[in-house]
Chains A and B, each alone.
Chain A
Amino acid sequence: MDQSTVELIRSSLGPLLEGMVKGTIPLTAISFVLGLLLALVVALMRLSPIWPVSAIARFYVSVIRGTPLLVQLFIIFYGLPSLGATIDPWPSAVLAFTLNVGGYASEIIRAAIISVPRGQWEAAQTVGMNYPTTLRRIILPQAARVSVPPLSNTLISLVKDTSLASTILVTETFRKAQELAGPTFEFFTLYMVAAAYYWAVCLVLSFAQSRLETRLDRYVAS
């Protein structure tokens, strides 16, 4: 590696870190939390015995999973203004990623809820719990255990998918790399630095995932 490349890498570390800390990470965190809340609602709707309710949820999941995330992002940012709804880059990105996580994670949460044996619902009823209490105290804690691995995948995908927000002018890690690469033509080097940052974040998340899994596994026989 020649001197100028080393210098370039060093000078890019700061701006790309800023892209991570001010762009990628908060975008991921906010979208993931909101997306999980949405996913829980959608999962419960899909499990509802009232068919129009579950049909709406099914339709939503089908649309989200059946269309590219990039297209969803463009519809919200470039498409909605022609309908008179202009949304800034950041909120557009949060909206798109939240809707996306909501669709994918709802299927994970639904499967996890179904995996809790029926006897658990019944036992909760016999000690007097109603539906929301049963869900909160008995079902979701058990569903959490089975849904941590697949939800971690969703989260890790999201970290990487937020790079798509660069296409709608959100200053996150990848856009920073593009901005720095443009004038210098050092695409390879700068994109490698960006890739390293994403990888590092995903490594940390994988580590956190296994810690969490161990914690949640403490009440089952090994």
Chain B
Amino acid sequence: MTEHLLDVQGLNKSFGDNHVLRGVDLIVPTGSVTVLIGPSGSGKTTVLRSLNALEIPDAGTVRIGDVSVDFGAKPDRRQITELRAQSGMVFQSHNLFPHLSVLRNVTEGPLVVQKRPAAEVNAEALELLRRVGLAEKAEQFPYQLSGGQQQRVGIARALAIKPRLMLFDEPTSALDPELVGEVLAVMKDLAADGWTMVVVTHEIRFARQVADQVLFLDGGVVAERGTPAEVLDHPKEERTQRFLHRLIDPL
């Protein structure tokens, strides 16, 4: 494996006339955590979704491990599927499968797509649920869980396909404040275990404690990047300062 698990060059994406990404570059060393911050509409979600081709950029390359896709060169379905298999995605609104039990949510990918043996998959899924603290909820349906628990199942589901990279899009911003901690704790755990993660979040404390690098996105470009100390505590760019100021003191 290369030293940089994720390497993104020149991402460009327009929705109609709206030029949303204007050349985003991003390098994520293996085993490190990258936090994306930025104002609403700056393109954070679009960047993240481009990494597993939920959004197809107009141009730019994404390399995860040894799988590289050049979106400018009209990749075919097989390339996209292969790229997608490299990362697990955790959504803001968990998007759990409501008609499947918690366990089946986690096993669906490995069983149905990867066609791995059921006994092995079930054992692994239970282990993942134990890891996110939900082993005893395996047989429940998603609606029977709290928001924080649902989000943790979402994390287990993403881990179950054995991705190399974990992507999180504001995993705590739809949660009641008292449930945020349990989700961040699981993410911290993953980081400590050496998972490579790209996280869109406005949890500045989490970024300070866990991130290796912080990127501030504004208007579809990376306006500032560096260590948490650099970007969060001593931002050079005025727009970063303004953004952080608003975040800390919304009034």
Do A and B truly interact? yes
- Measured in the bound complex, the distance between the Cα atoms of B72 and A107 in whole Å is 38
Question: Do the beta carbons of B95 and A128 come within 8 Å of each other?
Answer: no
Q: Is A126 an interface residue (CB 8 A)?
A: yes
- Measured in the bound complex, the distance between the Cα atoms of B81 and A145 in whole Å is 30
Q: Is B89 an interface residue (CB 8 A)?
A: yes
Chain B residues 144 to 163 lying within 8 A of chain A, measured CB to CB, are 144, 157-158, 160-161
Given A123-B91, A219-B141, A128:B99 Cβ within 8 A = no
Question: Do the beta carbons of B143 and A126 come within 8 Å of each other?
Answer: no
Residues of B within 8 Å of A142, CB to CB, are 98-99
Q: Is A119 an interface residue (CB 8 A)?
A: yes
For A, the interface residue count at a CB cutoff of 8 angstroms equals 22
Chain B residues 117 to 157 lying within 8 A of chain A, measured CB to CB, are 141-144, 157
- Measured in the bound complex, the distance between the Cα atoms of B95 and A134 in whole Å is 14
Question: Do the beta carbons of B161 and A119 come within 8 Å of each other?
Answer: no
Question: Do the beta carbons of A128 and B109 come within 8 Å of each other?
Answer: yes
Question: Do the beta carbons of B114 and A122 come within 8 Å of each other?
Answer: no
Residues of B within 8 Å of A119, CB to CB, are 91, 93, 95
Residues of A within 8 Å of B141, CB to CB, are 218-219
Question: Do the beta carbons of A219 and B99 come within 8 Å of each other?
Answer: yes
Residues of A within 8 Å of B108, CB to CB, are 127, 137
Given A122-B91, A126-B88, A128-B85, A219:B143 Cβ within 8 A = yes
Q: Is B251 an interface residue (CB 8 A)?
A: no
Nearest-Cβ distance from residue A127 to partner chain B, whole angstroms: 3
Q: Is B96 an interface residue (CB 8 A)?
A: yes
Residues of A within 8 Å of B142, CB to CB, are 219
Q: Contact residues of B with A, CB < 8 Å? A: 52, 54, 81, 84-85, 87-89, 91, 93, 95-100, 108-109, 112-114, 141-144, 157-158, 160-161
Query: What would be 14 A-B contacts, judged by CB atoms less than 8 Å apart?
Result: A119-B93, A119-B95, A120-B95, A122-B89, A122-B91, A124-B97, A127-B158, A128-B114, A133-B113, A142-B98, A145-B99, A218-B141, A219-B143, A221-B144
